[in-house]
Structure 1
Amino acid sequence: MTSPAPELTPAQRTEIELLARGKQEKSRAMRELGLSETPEAAHALLLRSGLWPESRTPYADRLHATTQPLELPVPEFPAEARLDLTHLDAFAIDDEGNRDPDDAVGIEALGGGLTRLWVHVADVAALVPAGSDLDTAARSRGATLYLPDQTVGMLPDALVERAGLGLHETSPALSVSLDLDESGNADAVDVQLTRVRVTRLSYTQAQARLDAAEKPFVSLLRLARASRLLRESEGALSIDLPEVRIKADEHTVTITPMPKPEMRFVVQECMTLAGWGAAIFADDNHVPLPFATQDYPTREVRGEGLSSQWARRKTLARTRFQPAPGPHHGMGLDLYVQVTSPMRRYLDLVVHQQLRSFLSGGEPMPGQLMASHIAQSGLNADATRQAERLSRRHHTLRLIAAQPEREWEGVVVDKRGPQATLLIPELAFDLPLSTPAPLGSVLKVRLSDVNLPALSARARPL
């Protein structure tokens, strides 16, 4: 039986909350109560005392990921020459409800067996030059923070409204073009400052247009398939694990599987091609960028089941970012940069700043200075991603705790002797389990003993 929570003075509560949020390392109040001076123990006491609701998540605070919106003035776009592409169709395709459309795709028939793929990206660097207050603030965040109960932008909402593609009749963009043959080989690549006219679509809407055999979407699919085959011939890996969308508030949690229409694959492949094309352009023109590189997988994993997908993901080395180009073996590319999310990822913004400086006749940031920006923003982005992961697990456990009698179907995706990792596909949630069941087994389980501060639960096979 759990002992009743002690009465806390306002001073004790403040001290214990600071410990739970990772804002101080010690707590005399916890020590006097005979409790461990850890953030998890403080969190448990605050829950037991009713001082924090179960919806409260302390992980962003602990990891020093800010949850305050960025409020800095946003300049107007500069008056400058741009290639007018408003006569070409372009589509910003994203999940329903997306609020920061920063990339769009389109095609242009060239003849001679070539098709020009256009990937347009919001020209954020026109509003956020290197060294500006907005740039420094974005670097300190590293990335947009996506939590189940809120989104905290890397950049101000006003900038997203000004620069987002398809939010106005026409939009300034930095556009990557690749002239591709039917096998996915690039005959030419280019990067230009443009003006585009963009139609926003959800993946569902875009899939409906593909199913109706509308020409631009059919052509995009053909190019994406050819590109994917070419990359696979160079060793690219494909990992298909369950993904879910988690939304939470003080009272409820909803978890819905992410649909995977073919147009999602198309857009992902186009974004990959844009990163490859931008990297080639920069390398040809000696523009330092934060190139993304990855070593060979540590071993080959065969099979397509969930346990194989899980094992394959574990073979991947961490992506490194460096001022000089190098191969990205997981993608099957000889060089690559992330270029399509400058509103949401700081290193993408750096790519834009460097390319825009070159295109405008300026002097790009030298590699040594850029390397320091890579390191600083990387630490901050890592904290953001970790806060997201822990917060998602927290709210998933809230949903599990609310349904103690529910049966869940899990798959044994890893095995170390009697100890296993069980993946619940419906929740994209994994937890340890002691079972004699072999790898790949499908088990019915109930989940109990939810411990929010420890982010744990117990699976009991039925």
Structure 2
Amino acid sequence: FRRAGKGRFKKAPAEIVQQALAAIEKKKLVQAQIAEWASELVAGTCPLPVREQLYKILFKPDKNAPEYRAVVEASRASQRPPLELLEKAGAIDSAYQFHWKRFLFENFPKGTAFPPLQAPAITDDLPLADGVQAFSIDDSQTTEIDDALSVQGLGSGTVTVGIHIAAPGLALVPGSAIDQVARQRMSTVYMPGYKITMLPDDIVDSYTLQEGRDCPAVSLYATFDEASLELKATETKLERVPVVANLRHDQLDAFVSEAWLTEASAPDGDAPVAVSALRAPLSFLFRLARSLKAQREVVRGKPENFNRPDYNFRLEGNLGEPVGEEQVRITTRRRGAPLDLIVAEAMILANSTWGNWLGELGVPGLYRSQASLAPGVKVRMGTRPAPHAGIGVKSYAWSTSPLRRYTDLVNQWQIIAAARHGKTAALAAPFKPKDADLFSILSGFDAAYSTYNGYQAGMERFWTLKYLQQQGITELDATVMKDLPNGALVRADGLPLVFPVAGQQERGARLRVKLGAIDEIALDVHGTVLARLDAPAAAEASDEEGDEEEVAGPIAIAVDLADSEATPENAPA
């Protein structure tokens, strides 16, 4: 019946009655299916429909879907957390694949393959850089060679350093098919043993600074007094640059030492011919880098902290996408090693010089800034130049990696306009002041870059935990970083691992710690203090290089056990 007025009812048509009865029956069948799936999960078996919807259930659920409701019901019945329940039921075959597929589900739902794209040719009639012999310095795994260096005028009293950046911005245009792909990805994604590139390999190959080629480049030339290292002038050119060598620092660190760069009497030893031929320019660049770093530290107000090493991960025998069971090798590399310092200071010089120049011309760009080194003051992005206290420069615009960071490609378009048009560049640049599109790129990049860095850190933690298992390591020496409720956060000696231990400890104390069970899904491990190795060190000043890093804990999922067991009234029948 349906209401037909106060106290009056009218018999519903037979068709409506049948539809209502069918809906009731369908809800009964759905509820029966939910109960059946929930029983299977409690019994330790994962129904195929639940397995197929695993990542959606956990991270972006439709809370009316029967698969989701079955997981909620089973979690209640078994009194197990949803993630543990699904793991015990066999829904998660591999911890590595779980993390990988979750990342793809959230960030690359259509997969990582590229659509068919063709690299447009650079049609500019670019002059050949006169007298330049450029060389790059990268890791052996680097395929996107964005930057190279050159040195001219040694012994003349005035030395010109060239910082040469690959120039995809001379061929690609905003809004093109390739630009849309790059903008969607925003950056290359790095992880141990694998990466997802921002651009397809053949596009990268078209613009990378490959040795043996005259490569189109956006070049910054900085002229220095050879004795005092005072910066005399800077100039930006669009040109073709002869690249004579692609050096790989992981193969050269053993030869290119501080002594080799600063002492003429130090022998070349087994150094490769290519690097021996570049000893003089590398020596000048190292001397310059130390000077530039010292100048930045004056502005910064304190020295940069290089007291922890960088860690490199190698997956043995890995040729493609990892499966999670590869043998992992973790090696250390001193931060601020000579070749690192040379490249880092050259890139800071380019990014700060170009950032200042765009600001002087009124051309907007994508900047990174930090108001001060006070605790809690974070690096921010904006479209106007502002000081970066952490680096110690007046402004900083990422511009030196246009093949692997979208911000750098955007800034390169603006720099190219500045090089071509000078004082009228603001009228010709692709992005104008207060351009809504530029702000959209900024926020999109910030979010994507943070997500990618988080995933990289998570996968480095995964492989560190794997390393502990593979090496049979059950005890570690560690240093207390800070207090936690009912315990402390410690950093392992010699491994990139931060984890909690039970019991209050003083900051700076060195401990011998016994490791508990490793949870590869939660990326979690806890420790128990076995012994104090020394007296507590004096509390260190807070440093901006990692004391605030979080311990990886249980994964945040979207399954809410408070969701009603009954089908909501507005749920589709």
TM-score tier by shorter-chain length is 0.7 to 0.9
Cα 1:349–1:74 change in 2 (3 A) is: same
Q: Does 189-198 or 179-188 show the bigger shift? A: 179-188
Residues 413-436 of structure 1: CA deviation (Å, up to 9, x unaligned): 223586322112422111122344
Aligned 1:233-244 pairs, distance under 5 A: 233-235=298-300, 237-240=303-306, 241-244=308-311
Which of 380, 392, 395 is residue 332 of structure 1 equivalent to? 392
For 2:373, the equivalent position in structure 1 comes to 297
Indicate whether 1:12 and 2:50 are aligned.
Answer: yes
1:63-102 correspondence to structure 2 within 5 Å: 63-65=106-108, 68-85=112-129, 87-102=131-146
Contact 1:143/1:346, CA 8 A, preserved across alignment = yes
Distance 1:145 1:204, change over 3 A: closer
Inter-partner Cα distance in structure 2 for 1:180 and 1:206: 27
Counterpart CA distance in 2 for 1:42 and 1:418 is 25
**2:518 equivalent in structure 1:** 450
Structure 2 stretches lacking a partner, 5+ long = 1-40, 261-267, 269-275, 316-321, 422-427, 531-573
Give the letter for the 1:16 counterpart: L
Residue 375 in structure 1 maps to residue 443 in structure 2: yes
Larger mean Cα displacement after TM superposition, 5-14 or 96-105: 5-14
Pick from 162, 175, 182: which aligns with 2:219?
A: 175
The match for 1:192 is: 237
1:225 to 290, 294, 302: 290
Measured in 1, the distance between the counterparts of 2:162 and 2:289 equals 13
Give the direction of change, closer, same or farther, for the CA distance of 1:85–1:130 in structure 2 (3 Å limit): same
Judge conservation of contact 1:246–1:253 (CA < 8 Å) in 2.
Answer: no
User: Following the alignment from structure 1 to structure 2, what is the Cα–Cα distance between the partners of residues 239 and 267?
Assistant: 18
Residue 233 and residue 276 in structure 1: after superposition, are their counterparts in 2 closer, same or farther (change >3 A)?
Answer: same
Task: Give the alignment of 1:142-291 within 5 angstroms.
Answer: 142-167=186-211, 169-181=213-225, 182-198=227-243, 199-207=245-253, 208=255, 211=260, 212=268, 214-235=279-300, 237-240=303-306, 241-248=308-315, 249-250=322-323, 251-260=325-334, 261-291=337-367
Cα deviation digits, residues 124-176 of structure 1 (max 9, x gap): 21232222222222122121111224210111111111111125522111111
Q: CA deviation at 1:44?
A: 6.3
Q: Is the 8 A contact 2:350 2:399 kept in 1?
A: yes
In structure 1, runs of 5+ residues without a counterpart are 299-314
* 8 A contact 1:108–1:117 mirrored in 2: yes
SS in 1 for 2:305: coil
2:356·2:385 contact (CA, 8 Å) conserved in 1? Answer: no
Amino acid at match of 1:202: R
Is residue 502–residue 528 contact of structure 2 (8 Å, CA) maintained in 1?
A: no
Contact 1:59 1:390 in 2 (8 A): no
Counterpart-to-counterpart distance in 2, 1:44 and 1:367: 53
Distance 1:19 1:402, change over 3 A: farther
Q: Which has the larger strand fraction?
A: 1
**C-alpha contact 2:256 2:338 (8 A) present in aligned 1:** no
Instruction: Report how many residues are paired.
Output: 441
3-state DSSP class of the match of 1:281?
helix
Q: Which amino acid counterpart does residue 459 of structure 1 have in structure 2? A: G
1:402 shift after superposition? 4.2
Q: Would you say 1:412 and 2:458 are equivalent positions? A: no
**Secondary structure of residue in 1 paired with 2:516:** strand
Q: 1 CA distance for matches of 2:193 and 2:492?
A: 22
Task: Give the distance between the partners of 1:177 and 1:382, measured in 2 at CA.
Answer: 32
Please report the TM-score for the alignment, with normalisation by the length of structure 2: 0.71
Distance 1:120 1:383, change over 3 A: same
Which shifted more, 230-239 or 62-71? 62-71
C-alpha displacement of 1:189: 1.6
Task: Provide closer, same or farther for how the CA distance between residues 5 and 125 of structure 1 changes in structure 2, counting only shifts above 3 A.
Answer: farther
Q: Which moved more, 1:373-382 or 1:415-424?
A: 415-424
Q: 1:444 to 1:110 in 2, by over 3 A?
A: same
Deviation string for 1:341-388 (max 9, x for gaps)?
111111111111111233344433113222222122222222222222
Change (3 A) 1:255 1:439: farther
The CA distance in 2 between the partners of 1:232 and 1:153, in whole Å, is 34
Alpha-carbon shift at residue 59 of structure 1 (Å): 4.4
Q: Which moved more, 1:428-437 or 1:59-68?
A: 59-68
Question: 1:119, 1:176 within 8 Å by CA — same for their partners in 2?
Answer: yes
SS at match of 1:75: coil
User: Which has the higher Rg, Structure 1 or Structure 2?
Assistant: 2
Q: CA deviation at 1:320?
A: 1.6
- Cα shift at 1:206: 4.8
Partner of 1:61: 104
- Judging changes above 3 Å, is the alpha-carbon distance between structure 1 residues 5 and 456 closer, same or farther for their aligned structure 2 residues? farther
1:366 and 2:366 are equivalent in the alignment:
no
| RMSD between aligned residues | 2.8
Counterpart Cα distance in 1 of 2:114 and 2:70: 35
Residues 292 and 222 from structure 1, CA distance in 2 versus in 1: closer, same or farther, beyond 3 angstroms?
Answer: same
Deviation, 1:33, is 1.5
What TM-score, normalized to structure 1?
0.86
Over 3 Å counting, the alpha-carbon distance change for 1:204 and 1:141 in structure 2 is closer
